């Protein structure tokens, strides 16, 4: 079974307080579900049509595990806390 990666790019942060409330809940929900934070922050350099936006990369043991964490009550509570506080692009992809 291939690992899976949760890639989240923050297009815009509209409310820093909502983002902080989200982070306080999301981190424990993700790590509690087996997710491992590999990278988070602004890119060191962007190329081609890349955007200089905050990106978070999380590794899971499988796509099923990543989906279960996303759909879990703990992570859904984090999303509710975030509300309209940020515009994000979240993708779950299977590793090679």
What's the chain's average pLDDT?
A: 96
pTM, 2 dp: 0.92
**Listed residue (44, 53, 47, 49) closest to 7, CA to CA:** 53
* Structural domain count of the chain: 1
pLDDT at position 81 over 80: yes
Round to whole Å and give the CA distance between 7 and 13. 17
Q: What number is the average pLDDT over the span 37-56?
A: 95
pLDDT at position 61 over 90: yes
CB atoms under 10 Å from CB of 20, counted, come to: 12
What pLDDT sits at residue 1?
Answer: 74
What is the percent of the chain with per-residue pLDDT over 90, rounded to a whole number? 98
pLDDT at position 71 over 90: yes
Q: What number is the average pLDDT over the span 82-86?
A: 97
Q: How far is CA 27 from CA 14, 15, 46, 64, in A?
A: 20, 18, 26, 19
Instruction: Give the CATH number, domain containing residue 61.
Output: 3.30.70.100
Q: What number is the average pLDDT over the span 19-34?
A: 97
CB neighbour list of residue 46: distance below 8 Å, 6 or more residues apart? 52
Owning domain of residue 13: 4-94
Give the DSSP H or E segment for 89.
Answer: strand 86-94
pLDDT at position 96 over 90: no
């Amino acid at each position: 079974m291939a690992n899976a990666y949760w890639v989240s790019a923050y297009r815009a942060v509209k409310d820093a307080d909502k983002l902080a409330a989200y982070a306080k809940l999301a981190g424990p929900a993700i790590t509690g579900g087996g997710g491992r934070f590999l990278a988070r922050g602004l890119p060191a350099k962007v190329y081609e049509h890349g955007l200089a936006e905050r990106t978070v990369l999380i590794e899971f043991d499988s796509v099923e595990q990543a989906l279960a964490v996303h759909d879990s009550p703990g992570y859904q509570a984090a999303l509710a806390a975030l509300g309209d506080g940020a515009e994000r692009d979240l993708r779950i992809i299977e590793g090679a």
